[in-house]
Amino acid sequence: MSTGETKEARRDARNTWLLSAPALIILTLAAAGPLLIMLVYSFLEPGKYGNVVWEFSTGAWVSTVLTRDIFDGTYHLADAHLTIFWRSVKLSLITTIFTFIVGFPTAWFIATRSARARTALLFLITIPFWTNLLIRTFAINQIIRNEGMLNTFLLYLGVIDEPILIIYSDFAVFLGMTYVYLPLMVLPLFAAIDRFDMRLIEAAYDLYASRLQVLRRVILPIVKPGIIAGSILVFIPALGAYVTPRILGGGRNMMIGNFIELQFGQGRNWPLGAALSVLLLMIVAIALMFYVRAANRDAPHG
C-alpha cells in the first residue's frame, strides 16, 4: 500500500470515529453511567431513610449471600436471598426450555406454509406486542385466579369441585412469563427455519435416517443460531422480570427484580439493592458468555 493510500485510510478511519463519537458518548453515559453509579453505591453504607452514606463498606456484598445474627454477631447463609436467586434462575431456565418446546413446532409450522399464510401467522404472533405488558399480565391473572375464567369453566363442567389454586405460585409466574416471552422465541426460530433448505431432509431420508436422526443431526444443527438467539431473548428478560412475578406471584413468590425494587423502596437499603443489581448483571453476562460459546463451538475456524 502506498503512502497516499495509507494516509487516506487513516483519514477515513478518523472520520468514521468522529461520526460515531456522538452515539458512543450517548451510549456510554446512558448505559455505562448508571451501571457505574450502581457499582459505586454497592460499596457504600446505607442511609437511615434511604440514599447512601459516603463511607466505604463491603457490607452490601456480604449481605447478598450472608446474614448477621443480631444477638451474637455470627454470619449465616442468607436463605431468603439464595431462595430468591434460585427461584429466578430456575423459572427463567424453565421458561426458556418450555418456550423452545412450544415455539419450535410453531415456527416450523409457520415457515412451511405458503407466503400469504406465513404473513398472516406472523401477524398473529406479533399482536401481543401491541398491548402493554402490564395489561397482558393482568389478562393472565383474570384467567387463572380463583374466580377466573379457567376455574369458572371447569366448575361449570363439573370437572372440579373447588377452584384450583394457581395464582400466587411459581407455576403462575412460569405460565405468565411463557405467555409473555413466547413470541421472542418463535420469531428467531422462524427466521432460522425460513432459510433452511428442505432438500436436506429429503437427502437424509434417502440415506435411511429416521425422523429423530433427521431432527437431531440435520435440522437442529442448522437452526442452532435461531435457537441460541431465541434463548437469549427469553432468558435474560425473564431473569430480571418484575411485572409478571409481582402480579402473578404476589409478595410470597418474588424474583430478583422484585427483591431489588424492594431494597430501593420499602427496604431503604440502596447499597444492597445496588449490589444485587450488579450481581444480576454478572449473571446475565455469564449467561451470554455461555450462549456465545455454544454458538461458536461448532463454527468453522481459519
**Domain boundaries along the sequence of the chain:** 3-76, 79-296
Give the separation between CA 226 and CA 38, rounded to whole angstroms: 33
Q: What are phi and psi of 43, to 5 degrees?
A: -110, 25
In order along its 302 residues, the chain shows pLDDT tens digits of 566 667 777 777 787 788 888 888 887 788 788 888 899 999 999 988 888 889 999 989 988 888 877 777 778 888 888 889 899 999 999 999 999 999 999 999 999 998 899 999 999 998 888 888 889 999 999 999 988 899 999 998 888 888 888 888 899 999 999 999 999 999 999 999 998 888 898 898 888 888 889 888 898 888 988 998 899 899 999 998 999 999 998 877 789 999 999 999 888 899 999 999 998 888 888 878 877 776 666 554 44
Cβ neighbours of residue 30 under 8 Å, at least 6 residues apart?
A: none
- Take residue 173 and report the three cell numbers written for it: 409466574
- In the block, which residue shows the cell 411485572? 243
Please state, in angstroms and rounded to a whole number, the distance separating the CA atoms of residues 236 and 232.
6
Point out which residues pair with 44 in neighbouring strands.
Answer: 56
Q: Is pTM, for the whole model, over 0.85? A: no
**β partners of residue 75:** 68
What's the CATH superfamily of 79-296? MetI-like (1.10.3720.10)
For 11, 35, 126, the CA distances from 20, given in Å and listed in that order, are 14, 22, 33
Q: What's CA 198's distance to the chain center, in Å? A: 31
Query: The C-alpha cell of 179 is what?
Result: 405467555
Three-class SS state of 300: coil
In angstroms, what CA-CA distances link 127 with 108, 117, 124, 136, 289? Answer: 19, 16, 5, 11, 32
- CA-based torsion, 213, 217, 222, 228: positive or negative: positive
* 188: Cβ contacts below 8 Å, ≥ 6 apart: 226, 227, 229, 230, 233
Q: How far apart are CA 280 and CA 236, in angstroms?
A: 10
User: How far apart are alpha carbons 264 and 277 in whole angstroms?
Assistant: 11
Place of cell 418456550: 99
